[in-house]
Structure 1
Amino acid sequence: MPSFETGSPETLAFLRKRRSHPSVTMTDPGPDDTQLQDILTIAARVPDHGKLAPWRFILFRADKEGKRIGEWLAAHYERKTGPLDADQRDKELTRFTRAPVVIGVVSTAADHPKIPLWEQQLSAGAVCMNLVTAAAASGFASQWLTEWVSFDMEAARFLGARDGERFAGFVHIGTPTQPPFERPRPNLSDLITNWTETD
């Protein structure tokens, strides 16, 4: 008889309590190369109709690229919106230095004769959630963010997106400096219905 893995109470307990940490509360260390490889391997284990892998990863490290990226983003945002106040400027300058590692998840979804675009985009979203969960299970703080840089085409290109691609989000990973705050969760009874046939 083949042996199959069974459920784990510890895993379920972890998933019930998993919580994102604000990136501004993260510090060093982040995952090393071996840990990152494992986290990304887990992130890639998602539903993927047609085995297209319609996503890819871009790694940003605070101590290497973070300052340069922040300077560009601050200047670009100022060109778009006008002069920045001190708080907004600092927010842009530190956007990629708050956490030791930021992983950009790029959706490469494209028209396909059999696989709907929406299914490919959903797969990229699943990668982001797996990435957040894998980082947390590895003992790190993690947060999935999008914000304006995901939707501004010039910023996306500067951050590595190619023609036809878009960022599904940026997952910030580091060491927590404080416990995460629990937030109100939806009332499941408001979200669940049993199907009934209608005329």
Structure 2
Amino acid sequence: MRIQDDKSLLLIVDLQAGLLPVIEGGDQAVSEAAWLGGVAQALEVPVWVTEQYPKGMGGSEPRLLEALPGHRLWQKVHFNAHEEPDFAGALADSGRRQIVLCGSEAHICVMQTGLGLLEAGYEVYWLSDAAVSRRAEEASLARERMTRSGAVPVSADMVAYEWLHRCDSERFKDVHRRFLKPRSARPLRFF
């Protein structure tokens, strides 16, 4: 099924400053999540950010929050964000059924949140380039388990272009100028 901007929500799980120094690929994950979050906000796709017990692990990476001024922040104690009653209720009320999911640690909070969302009937898209763990092997195992459970692995580019649908609109031109063009070493040509 195609990822649609009017049905999607980007959920960034626990990219927290206190945890990122020990996360393999953490900087890349923050960059990819921030980039896709910027595209999402330009297209009016909600961006939600969670923090696992910030008193102990610190808040979200400041670079991420600075890049996403319109995000909604959720603090949690459950590894599965969907077990937080306020979060689950707000997500149901949003009407968004396609969840693009990323964050850290992939094999703990991201995976448990994804499994909870799948159990609740949501479509889950695993953002592979921004789902990271302390060890890459654990992130890989989490991706494999999520895929077997029904999540669809995707890249940030895949999601952005599915949200955009077409290249001949003002919306595409605006997003392409602001976000897509710098990501490619080769200029994109359309017709």
Q: Shorter-chain TM-score category?
A: under 0.3
With the length of structure 2 as denominator, give the TM-score of the two structures. 0.26
With the length of structure 1 as denominator, give the TM-score of the two structures. 0.25
Greater Cα radius of gyration, structure 1 or 2: 1
Q: Select the structure that is richer in helix.
A: 2
